[in-house]
Structures are given as structure tokens and as C-alpha cells.
Amino acid sequence: MLSESLGLAPKRRRNNSTALEEQEVRQLIAKGEMERDDVDVERVEGLGAGASRGHEHMPKKTLVEKELARRAKEAEDERRVGRLSGVEGSERQESRASEKSRRHSEKKERKREKKERKRAKKEKKRERKRSERDSRSGSESLS
């Protein structure tokens, strides 16, 4: 304990939990004698999650409703941003598209230039090998 407080030994976590172990929970659930708190949800292997009454008062949205709400929120955010920047939504989209196409063409040009440099380098290497081969064959015929 002293060495832990001095930092010489790793601190051990003391678990004074009164929670039930998995086996005990299974036995109590099987017997049906367990009192459950309204908020707690126990997860027992093979049984899944127990019922929770915490969110029953809230209406549940379907996946479609969630997606529609998300899209509406995105559209509203887009309109707000457009108003702040002073550019209409369609103009903004056009400027984005033109910017994207410009970047795309620049990237293509850089790729083409890189490919040309690579071809030139490869050709230079071939020429060097040919000249070395020719010089060797010429020196061999002289010897």
C-alpha cells in the first residue's frame, strides 16, 4: 500500500462492487425472484438485454423518418451557410463543381507529367545500358 502511494508499485484497483455475477443473475432470472430497478438493464449471455423502461415515454422514429429528418437538417444547414456567405445554394454548388473539375484536371495534368518524366528516365536508362553494352562489345573485339 505504501509503495503504491509512492508510485513504486502499480496501483491495484479495489472492486467493492455488490453487483451479482453472471451465474447468480442467470439463476435468479431462471427462478424469477429478482427485483429489478426500472433503470437497470442486465445483459446475460444467451438472454440478450432485459427490458428497460427508461425511454418508453419517447416516441420511436423509424429509419425512414430518421433519414428524412437528417436530410431536412442538412438542407436547412446548407441554406444558413449560403445566407452567411452571401452566395445562393445553386451558385455555391456550381462553384464547388467547377472547383472540383479544376482540381481534377490539375491532378490529371500532374499525373501525365509524372508519367512523361518516368518514360524519359526509363529511356535514358535504356540508352545508358545500350552504350555500356556497345562499349563492352567493342572492347572485347579489340582484345
pTM over cut 0.95: no
Contact criterion met (CB below 8 Å) for 42 and 50: yes
Domain range for residue 43?
Answer: 18-50
Residue by residue, pLDDT tens for the chain (143 residues) are 778 888 888 887 776 666 667 777 777 777 765 555 555 555 555 555 555 566 666 777 788 888 889 899 998 988 887 776 665 667 778 888 899 999 999 999 999 999 999 999 999 999 999 999 988 887 666 55
Q: How many CA atoms lie within 13 A of 15 on its CB side?
A: 5
Residues 75 and 42 both lie in one domain: no
Domain-embedded: residue 122: yes
Q: How far apart are CA 104 and CA 28, in angstroms?
A: 65
Residues 108 and 69 both lie in one domain: yes
